[in-house]
Amino acid sequence: MSETSIDSASRSDDGFFERYSSRALIAAVTVSAIAALLVGGWLFPDSIVGTFADVVTSRNTLSSALRLSVPIAFAALGGIFSEKSGVINIGLEGLLIISAFTAIYVTDVTGGVWVGFGGGVLASVLLALLFAVVTIEFRADQIIAGLAVWLIALGLAPFASQVIYGGPNTPTVPTPGSITVPVLADIPFFGALFSASPSVYLLFLAVGLSWYVFERTTFGRWIRASGENPKALDTAGVSVTRVRYAAVLLSGVLSGMGGAALSLDLGQFTGNGPTMVNGKGFIAIVAYLFGNYNPIGAFLSTLLFAGLDAMQTVLQLQGIGVPRQLIRITPFVVVIVVLALVGRTRIPEAAGEHYESGEE
């Protein structure tokens, strides 16, 4: 008796250790690296370290990191909802593309930026609905269906642009501008948080709300149960199918907000090659894995990736060239290292599996 309880206690300690310590280690390394950089920059302002320190503490870096974060973080939130419910949605990239184009088109036609925003979200939801029907109703393979969503959008958006505008790039439309909070916006560095596009504020709201839904509401629990042990949820009298539909549609809503914000903030959709979305949907997947399916964690890891990207741009302006390609692969390298080291990014038990009620 006492042996088993000691045993289980030590086991849970191990679990705690494994779950948090590697992540804590990475956070500590990051923090001390930044601290070392800042100290070094302060001691030797003219050295290359000094330049780095300037860039890291520059308000512009934070502001462009936030801007770059918006589509990735929204898509990551969407991916969390979907995958936590048991449906792996690797079509986030496609949802971003379709909403980015539709938002510009609707804005162009109606003249209203927020109408365009809504149009983009709607397009993404419709594509997510198609994905949901195919994977939940017809039990298609989630990975293949997700790839199809990406490929459909990747072909459809530039094609529609070609038909409507005669080229893969749309003309420019008005942008929503930015919202500046007086006084707070004047704070050095962190002032960037208070002078940003409305989509940044929307993102803060979405991150907080998503966290609340998972941690505090009945629906959030049902989503978790649906992805971990759908049979337990089913025997508790909750329809797994409905929960999964709701979660996948929510991933459409959130990704749609990300895609629409991406193109509207620039006022244009560019559809050459991988389009303006350019892999952000895939980085989103990496971000939520790195964030261990936690909305706040996913947002912070997005900010880290976007921050690296923003730094790279600033550094190039300062004449220190870091190849863009190197920066771009950072998130993927980081996630491989993290998954290998941490090993505790816990994928929902039933993710990727179909569920049919009453199956014995």
Total number of residues that touch other proteins (CB under 8 A):
27
CB atoms within 10 A of CB 194: 17
User: Does residue number 349 form part of the binding site for other proteins (CB under 8 A)?
Assistant: yes
For 19-33, b where at least 16 C-beta lie within 10 A, e where not — what string? beeebeebeeeeeee
**Min dist. Cβ of residue 253 to other proteins (A):** 19
User: Does residue number 103 form part of the binding site for other proteins (CB under 8 A)?
Assistant: no
User: Does residue number 318 form part of the binding site for other proteins (CB under 8 A)?
Assistant: no
**Min dist. Cβ of residue 245 to other proteins (A):** 17
User: Does residue number 59 form part of the binding site for other proteins (CB under 8 A)?
Assistant: no
Query: And the tokens for 288?
Result: 């939520």
User: Does residue number 21 form part of the binding site for other proteins (CB under 8 A)?
Assistant: no
Instruction: Report the alpha-carbon distance of residue 80 to residue 83 in Å, rounded.
Output: 5
Residue that has been written with the tokens 């947002």 in this structure:
299
**Residue 180 DSSP SS3:** strand
Q: Which of 115, 238, 315, 351 binds other proteins (CB under 8 A)?
A: 238
Instruction: Report the alpha-carbon distance of residue 273 to residue 168 in Å, rounded.
Output: 9
User: Does residue number 242 form part of the binding site for other proteins (CB under 8 A)?
Assistant: no
Instruction: Report the alpha-carbon distance of residue 160 to residue 148 in Å, rounded.
Output: 18
User: Does residue number 224 form part of the binding site for other proteins (CB under 8 A)?
Assistant: yes
Instruction: Report the alpha-carbon distance of residue 256 to residue 75 in Å, rounded.
Output: 8
**Min dist. Cβ of residue 81 to other proteins (A):** 17
DSSP 195: E
CB nearer to other proteins: pick between 139 and 216: 216
Burial category of 119 from C-beta neighbours within 10 Å (exposed 0-12, middle 13-18, buried 19 and up): buried
Region from 2-10, 75-83, 87-95, 108-116 binding other proteins, contact rule CB under 8 A: 2-10
User: Does residue number 325 form part of the binding site for other proteins (CB under 8 A)?
Assistant: no
Burial category of 348 from C-beta neighbours within 10 Å (exposed 0-12, middle 13-18, buried 19 and up): buried
Start-end of H helices in 166-239: 198-216, 218-228, 230-235
User: Does residue number 237 form part of the binding site for other proteins (CB under 8 A)?
Assistant: yes
Residue that has been written with the tokens 């980081």 in this structure:
334
User: Does residue number 351 form part of the binding site for other proteins (CB under 8 A)?
Assistant: no
Q: Which of 183, 188, 218, 317 binds other proteins (CB under 8 A)?
A: 218
User: Does residue number 356 form part of the binding site for other proteins (CB under 8 A)?
Assistant: no
Region from 145-153, 228-236, 274-282, 324-332 binding other proteins, contact rule CB under 8 A: 228-236
Q: Site residues (CB under 8 A) for other proteins?
A: 1, 4-5, 8, 11-12, 15, 216-218, 221-222, 224-225, 228-229, 231-233, 235-238, 346, 349, 358, 360
